[in-house]
Amino acid sequence: MPKKRAGSAKHAEPSVTLSLRGANRLQARHPWVYRSDITEANDIPPGSVVRVHDPRGKFLGTALYSSSSQIAIRMISHGSVNDLPGLIAERIRAAIAYRKELVANTDAYRIVFSEADFLPGLIVDRYNDVVSLQILTQAMDAVPVREAIVRTLREELHPAGIVERVEARIRELEQLPALPSGLLWGEKSSSEFRMNGIGFHYDGREGQKTGAFLDQRENYAAAAQYAHGEALDAFCYQGRFALHMAEKCSSVTGVDSSRPALEMAEKNATLNGRELEWMEANAFDLLREYAAAGRHYDTVVLDPPAFAKTKRDLEKALRGYKELNLRAMKMLRPGGILVTCSCSFHVSAADFLKVVADAAQDAHKSLRVLENRGAAKDHPMLLNVPETSYLQCLILNVSD
Ligand code: SAH
């Protein structure tokens, strides 16, 4: 248990002292410290800006405090912070500038990616003239911080609307009051955007995450380079792999268990003057049936939801990936293309390579790696923070 210090004038400012392990973590440039590594804390209100010290009392920097999360503090600066809303505005401007160099051929991309943009607890995506954001921590939920976020996004991006997408479970975990999703500013919550020359609808009131899986943007274009013949996009959501591959393939079928996702996929196809087939089905069952019935494809995309939400799920998740990949490999004609993804951050790049290799062994196939990819550059990975690397996308040439 952290010792509580009396609120003397000296310690009026919220501050914490870390165990050696906690201090070493920060020194290694990881921004999180767990509650068990806090050895001393004065009375700290939820969401406070706290000064952080090592066991000898040396000042290490400033962090944002959560009273409920196991991740008790997330570093925001290696120095002192006197004006958090001002610092957040500055970081948002820096994140926007960072993407100016990196993002091309799209008007939809991630603007702020939490820790990876030194803004822990904030996610902002842009869909053309609509900005969609998620607030994930107590500190980011404070009214002056929210105001600074909205003001900066308005000044820098001039959107027609800013929508907040609420993850109810996360607000609960952070012990924040329930809040509906909705417009934070402006009038517009839906739009159309273009990526890699293809048009898509965006509806900020619907869908999963902030609306689209923008982290796959560069992988769509990469997959389209190799796609050919008859293609199957399993776990297709709103059809983005499918639509990217359509130009190169004789037919494309998209499969998802979510009807609203498929309705949007159909609208997206119409927007691009394409006719694709959409199937509402459990992709695991469908692949099992197709593999057993000897159905063949030339290109298969596997982009399932995260199987490993926690470390404990890892074994089960790996079995799930193996099974799916095995079935897809069996269905591919010689020279076929397998685009296989994992977005579980508990599944490391090495784990994923191994599981796909094991599936190849069982399917009696040889795999040549065409591309070994991760998330698009607007979802940067912080090298010292493995949690920021979660998306794997392998593009493989499959032969007998
Ligand atoms: N490839 C998509 C993202 C896929 S996200 C893109 O790039 O936009 C995972 C998708 O799997 C979601 O659309 C979800 O509805 C779907 N899903 C989850 N479980 C499923 C199942 N058992 N069968 C088919 N689809 C499933």
Rounded Cα–Cα distance for residues 110 and 96 (Å): 9
In a domain, 4, yes or no: no
In a domain, 1, yes or no: no
Ligand 1 mean position to 257 CA, how many Å? 7
Does the Cβ of 241 fall within 6 Å of ligand 1?
yes
Q: Is 111 in the same domain as 180?
A: yes
Per-residue pLDDT of the chain (400 residues; tens, 9 = 90+): 455 444 444 446 899 999 999 999 999 999 999 999 999 998 899 999 999 999 999 999 999 999 999 999 999 999 999 999 999 999 999 999 999 989 999 999 999 999 999 999 999 999 999 999 999 999 999 999 999 999 999 999 999 999 999 999 999 999 999 999 999 999 999 999 999 999 999 999 877 766 889 999 999 999 999 999 999 999 999 999 999 999 999 999 999 999 999 999 999 999 999 999 999 999 999 999 998 999 999 999 999 999 877 778 899 999 999 999 999 999 999 999 999 999 988 899 999 999 999 999 999 999 999 999 999 999 999 999 988 889 999 999 999 9
* Residue 340 belongs to domain with CATH number: 3.40.50.150
Q: Is 175 in the same domain as 293?
A: no
Q: Is 45 in the same domain as 184?
A: no
Q: Is 138 in the same domain as 266?
A: no
In a domain, 218, yes or no: yes
User: What token pair was written down for 328?
Assistant: 């897809």
Q: Is 233 in the same domain as 270?
A: yes
* Residue 68 belongs to domain with CATH number: 2.30.130.10
Question: Model-level pTM?
Answer: 0.94
Q: Is 68 in the same domain as 111?
A: no
Q: Is 359 in the same domain as 324?
A: yes
In a domain, 202, yes or no: no
Domain that holds residue 151: 84-193
Domain count of the chain? 3
The answer to whether residue 393 is catalytic is no
In a domain, 198, yes or no: no
Q: Is 250 in the same domain as 341?
A: yes
5-64: per-residue pLDDT in tens? 444 444 468 999 999 999 999 999 999 999 999 999 988 999 999 999 999 999 999 999
Q: Is 258 in the same domain as 394?
A: yes
Decide: 68 and 47 in contact? Cβ < 8 Å. Answer: no
Does the Cβ of 299 fall within 6 Å of ligand 1?
no
In a domain, 336, yes or no: yes
Does the Cβ of 191 fall within 6 Å of ligand 1?
no
Question: Which residue reads 């013949």 in tokens?
Answer: 229
53-106: per-residue pLDDT in tens? 999 999 999 999 999 999 999 999 999 999 999 999 999 999 999 999 899 999
Closest CA to 211 of 203, 220, 219: 203
Q: Is 119 in the same domain as 244?
A: no
Closest CA to 397 of 226, 249, 217: 226
Ligand 1 mean position to 279 CA, how many Å? 12
In a domain, 148, yes or no: yes
Does the Cβ of 284 fall within 6 Å of ligand 1?
yes
* Residue 103 belongs to domain with CATH number: 3.30.750.80
Q: Is 148 in the same domain as 189?
A: yes
In a domain, 260, yes or no: yes
Ligand 1 mean position to 283 CA, how many Å? 8
